[in-house]
Amino acid sequence: MSQWCKVGYSQKIRDPAFKKYLKHSAYWSFIFAGMLAVASIAGFALYGAYSTEMDNPEAVLIGLGIGCMFLMIAALQTVGRGMSRTWDGVVADKYVKSGKKKIKYSDSRYKQYLEFTVVIKSQSGKCVNLTVEDDDTLYNYYQIGDRVRHHKGLNSFEKYDKTNDDIIFCGACASLNDIEEDRCFRCGCPLLK
C-alpha cells in the first residue's frame, strides 16, 4: 500500500490553483484562437491581393468567416467547461484494438497502431471513452471496477483508490506525475491524492 495516498476522493480539488488553471486555460484558448483568426484574415487578404483565382474583398470575407469560426470554437469550449458538472462513475470496460492507417503525404505506406480504450460509465448510464494510441499507460492505470470522479471543468478523472499506484494523472492538465509529488510538474496544481 502506498504511503502517499489514502482511499477516497481528495479534498485538494478545492485548492484555488484549479480555478486559476481554468481561468488561464480560457484566456489562452482565446489568445490562440485570436492569433489563428488574424492569420486567416491576413492570409486570405494576401491571397486575394496576389492570386488570379480570387479578389479582395471576397478573400478577406472568407478569411473573416474562418477567423470567426476559430473564436466561436474557443467560446464553445469555455462555455462547455463552465457547464460541465462533477459526477461519479466506474470503469466499466477496457479493450485494445489494432489497426492500420495511411501515413500522411504517402500514397502507399501504412502504419500499424494499437488503440487502448478505457470505458467509464457514469451513474446516469452515460459512457465516456478514454482512447490513446500506441501508449498503454492510461489503460494500465485504470482497472475494471475502479470508482472514478470527473471534476467540473476538468478533462481528467480521479480514482477513488490510489493506494497501489506509483503514478498519478494531474486532475487539471492530465499530465503524468510520480505519486510522491505534491504538485503537477506542468501546471502546478495539487495532485489529487
Packed helices 16-50 and 58-83: angle between N→C axes, nearest 10 degrees: 170
Residues 38 and 57 in one domain: yes
Residues 31 and 79 in one domain: yes
Q: Given pLDDT bands bounded at 50, 70 and 90, which one contains residue 96?
A: very high
Q: What's the pLDDT score for residue 90? A: 98
Residues 74 and 116 in one domain: no
- Please say if the pLDDT value at position 75 is more than 80: yes
Segment 122-159, tens digit of pLDDT: 999 999 999 999 999 999 999 999 999 999 999 889 99
Q: Does residue 162 sit within a domain?
A: no
Q: Does residue 191 sit within a domain?
A: no
Structural domain span for residue 110: 91-145
pTM of the complete model: 0.80
Residues 60 and 30 in one domain: yes
Per the structure, how many domains does the chain have?
2
Mean pLDDT of the chain: 92
Looking at per-residue pLDDT, the higher value among 182 and 52 belongs to 182
Q: Does residue 4 sit within a domain?
A: no
Task: Say if residues 179 and 186 touch (Cβ distance below 8 Å).
Answer: no
Segment 25-44, tens digit of pLDDT: 999 999 999 999 999 999 99
Q: Does residue 37 sit within a domain?
A: yes
Residues 79 and 96 in one domain: no
Q: What are the Cα distances from residue 36, in Å, to 5, 46, 77, 112? A: 42, 15, 16, 33
Residues 24 and 76 in one domain: yes
Residues 119 and 71 in one domain: no
